[in-house]
Amino acid sequence: PNNMRNTESAIKYFLMQATASMIIMFAIIYNAWMTNQWTLFQVSNEWATTIMTLALAMKLGLAPFHFWVPEVTQGIPLTSGMILLTWQKIAPTSILYQISPSLNMNLLVLLAVSSALLGGWGGLNQTHLRKILAYSSIAHMGWMTVIVSIDPSLTILNLLIYIAATMAMFLCLNFTSTTKINALSNLWNKSTPMTITMMIILLSLGGLPPLTGFMPKWLILQELIVYNNIATAMLLALS
């Protein structure tokens, strides 16, 4: 639909992604100038790795660059929101997966833990389901990022489960034309199976055992403890 809110959201998304892409190009050029090589898989310059880490954080919506995610998701239709929170995460995550050994590990962990905490706590006071799913996306991106340099396969597993659950949730919301939490209580009388399905998906996204969404979080916490990142594991568990 052609309205001001959709246009505003599109411009916000374009500005953030274009800025992040320019920063990535700057990091590549700066690294090539310092090391005489154009490859991304051996970024040895410290400033280049820091700039690249921040640019990818902007693309993925990691804290403190997360403010655009809830606003853009709230201002676009449900179908567009589903694409934004699922398909659009694949390209930045694939870059993160491939160049994770070269990135600034300490900065990456700081951004990831901040995202998990802000994503978990930010969705508490929301009544719009699209904003809740946006904060869920921020938190899940934090979980994926924190483990990418230790066990990248867990990042891919978490991404696949997150995409499946988020797409299912958006399809249910689109089918029932539901955008607010208040409408879920009224939906129980109209379609009980659909309401139960949506509740299960939301609990799975929250990581409640024994649902599927709990598995990658448990594995990530286990790997962090094995690699003596106990403080990081505790902060993630509190989120």
pLDDT along the chain (239 residues), means of 10: 83 94 92 82 81 91 90 91 93 89 86 91 86 93 91 92 94 88 80 87 89 92 88 85
Cβ contact 93:159 at 8 Å: yes
Q: Which of 118, 111, 135, 117 is nearest to 56 (CA)?
A: 111
The whole-model pTM stands at 0.91
* pLDDT at residue 57, rounded to an integer: 92
* pLDDT at residue 120, rounded to an integer: 86
* pLDDT at residue 139, rounded to an integer: 93
Dihedral class, residue 207 (left if φ above 0, else alpha if ψ from -120 to 50, else beta) = left
- Any idea where the domains of the chain sit in the sequence? 4-238
